[in-house]
């Protein structure tokens, strides 16, 4: 929005030309969302505490100290993150960019699903919110509509998957890209949701992943960089770096209050929407498989749950002491801070490996 005003004032204030660059607006979006979240959070936290008598419902089969230490902590903090991201993005992105609206649609839609899920949990005072099937169908519907739009109304978007580390090698999935793309968005969203189980655990890996894809979006949106790195050029995708900057700023502001001991949890409102952002940007930039590397921590958390469920259902035995994976280490006696920081380190290492795929081809 501000880019329109800046264009009108360029003749009077030539220095404003700096904001014509994506890099400048990305930095501005980061600061804007960070300030919004940091200063609004105390007021919203007080409001949520007042209206959520019991706070976030805690799993009774989880670590016992969670019931003691985390009971009463308000949830739905993802609303604050989304508020910062949306306001900042609207201010600094080019609203004529089609990809901006696509990412916005997915983010808000998944955020609403998460919000309703959190609402049910709080009002029922139960860790069980929406029915799993209904949640999946809603997510699948949104994802399929989004992929269909990309395939039909975006000329330079093709149903092609590029394989990391292999030069000029891709797989054309044709109509099956609908299923593949939907699974990327749904999987990314729900794996972030599974990771969000300890104070500050999910938000930092989210920022690392979003920052990585912000760089990828910038590079794929620049024809010179794309040609040099031999990656698919996606006209207009560079504008998504600004949204990524807004997420990082909002994440930093939120982490101030979500750091142990957390004053607020992001809930499904935050985890589902933030995960969907990563998924849809990976699809737009044609780096879906790289997401499995950069978001490897989320993948591990999701796999731990899948393996645990399958093993217990068919053998009656548990592979892990508790799933998701972070709870397994809690049950082994690791402190919460140790788990959180080590998982942050792992996510950073995986992100660096993922970014290496841009050059190692």
**What is the residue-wise DSSP string for 115-182?**
HHHHHHHHHHTSS--S-HHHHHHHHHHHHHHHHHHHHHH-TT--SEEEPTT-TT-EEE-GGGHHHHHH
Select from 91, 85, 84, 87 the least CA-distant residue to 2.
91
| pLDDT, mean of residues 167-186 | 94
Instruction: Specify the pLDDT at position 360.
Output: 82
| pLDDT, mean of residues 308-326 | 93
**In this structure, is residue 352 part of a structural domain?**
no
Instruction: Specify the pLDDT at position 30.
Output: 98
Instruction: Specify the pLDDT at position 213.
Output: 98
199 is in an annotated binding site: no
- Tell me the pLDDT tens digit for each residue of 140-151: 999 999 999 999
Instruction: Specify the pLDDT at position 55.
Output: 67
**In this structure, is residue 202 part of a structural domain?**
yes
Asked which of 158-162, 167-171, 227-231 is least confident by mean pLDDT, the reply is 167-171
- Tell me the pLDDT tens digit for each residue of 117-141: 999 988 887 778 899 999 999 999 9
**Structural domain of 138:** 22-288
Instruction: Specify the pLDDT at position 66.
Output: 60
**In this structure, is residue 33 part of a structural domain?**
yes
Asked which of 57-71, 109-123, 185-199 is least confident by mean pLDDT, the reply is 57-71
Using 50, 70 and 90 to split pLDDT, how confident is the model at 191? very high
Instruction: Specify the pLDDT at position 69.
Output: 62
- Tell me the pLDDT tens digit for each residue of 92-126: 999 999 999 999 999 999 999 999 999 998 888 77
Q: Which residue has the higher pLDDT, 69 or 150?
A: 150
pTM: 0.94
Q: What is the DSSP string of 129-147?
A: -S-HHHHHHHHHHHHHHHH
What is the Cα Rg of the chain in Å? 20
Using 50, 70 and 90 to split pLDDT, how confident is the model at 165? confident
Q: What is the DSSP string of 244-259?
A: HHHHHHHHHHHHHHHS
d(CA 91, CA 199): 30
d(CA 190, CA 212): 19
**In this structure, is residue 342 part of a structural domain?**
no
Give the C-alpha distances (Å, rounded to integers) separating 78 from 45, 118, 135, 205, 290. 11, 10, 18, 15, 26
| pLDDT, mean of residues 318-329 | 94
193 is in an annotated binding site: yes
| pLDDT, mean of residues 250-265 | 95
Instruction: Specify the pLDDT at position 60.
Output: 59
Strand partners, 171: 161
Q: Which residues contact 132 (CB under 8 A, 6 or more apart)?
A: none
Q: Which residues contact 123 (CB under 8 A, 6 or more apart)?
A: none
**In this structure, is residue 13 part of a structural domain?**
no
**In this structure, is residue 266 part of a structural domain?**
yes
Reported residue count of the chain is: 361
Q: Which residue has the higher pLDDT, 64 or 223?
A: 223
Asked which of 15-19, 151-155, 201-205, 278-282 is least confident by mean pLDDT, the reply is 15-19
pLDDT for 245 beyond 90: yes
d(CA 202, CA 262): 12
Q: What percent of the chain has pLDDT over 90?
A: 80
**In this structure, is residue 353 part of a structural domain?**
no
Q: Is 118 helix (H, G, I), strand (E, B) or coil?
A: helix
**In this structure, is residue 306 part of a structural domain?**
no
State the maximum Cα–Cα separation within the chain, in Å, rounded to a whole number.
74
Instruction: Specify the pLDDT at position 2.
Output: 72
Backbone phi, psi, residue 35, to 5°: -65, -45
For the chain, how many structural domains are there in total? 1
């Amino acid at each position: 929005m501000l880019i329109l005003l800046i264009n009108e004032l360029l003749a009077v204030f030539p220095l404003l030309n700096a904001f014509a660059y994506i890099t400048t607006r990305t930095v501005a979006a980061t600061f804007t969302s960070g300030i919004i979240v940091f200063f609004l959070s105390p007021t919203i936290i007080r409001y949520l505490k007042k209206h959520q008598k019991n706070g976030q419902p805690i799993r009774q089969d989880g670590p016992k100290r969670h019931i003691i230490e985390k009971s009463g902590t308000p949830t739905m903090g993802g609303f604050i993150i989304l508020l910062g991201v949306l306001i900042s993005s609207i201010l600094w992105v080019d609203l004529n960019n089609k990809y901006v609206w696509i990412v916005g649609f997915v983010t808000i839609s998944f955020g609403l699903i998460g919000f309703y899920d959190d609402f049910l949990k709080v009002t029922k005072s139960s860790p069980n919110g929406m029915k799993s099937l209904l949640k999946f169908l809603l997510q699948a519907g949104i994802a399929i509509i989004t992929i269909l739009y990309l395939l039909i109304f975006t000329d330079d978007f093709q149903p092609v998957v590029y394989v990391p580390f292999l030069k000029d090698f891709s797989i054309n999935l044709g109509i099956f890209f609908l299923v593949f793309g939907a699974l990327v968005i749904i999987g990314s969203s729900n794996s972030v949701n599974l990771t969000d189980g300890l104070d500050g655990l999910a938000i930092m890996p989210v920022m690392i992943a979003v920052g990585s894809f912000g760089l990828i979006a910038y590079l794929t949106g620049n024809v010179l960089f794309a040609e040099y790195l031999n990656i698919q050029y996606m006209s207009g995708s560079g504008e998504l770096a600004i949204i990524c900057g807004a997420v990082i700023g909002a994440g930093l502001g939120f982490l101030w209050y979500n750091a142990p001991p957390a004053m607020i949890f992001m809930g499904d409102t935050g985890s589902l929407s933030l995960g969907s952002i990563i998924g849809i940007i990976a699809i737009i930039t044609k780096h879906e498989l790289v997401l499995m590397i950069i978001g490897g921590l989320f993948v591990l958390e999701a796999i731990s749950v899948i393996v645990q469920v399958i093993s217990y259902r068919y053998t009656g035995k548990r592979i892990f002491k508790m799933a998701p994976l972070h709870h397994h280490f809690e049950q082994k006696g690791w402190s919460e801070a140790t788990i959180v920081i080590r998982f942050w380190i792992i996510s950073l290492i995986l992100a660096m490996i993922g970014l290496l795929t841009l050059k190692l081809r």
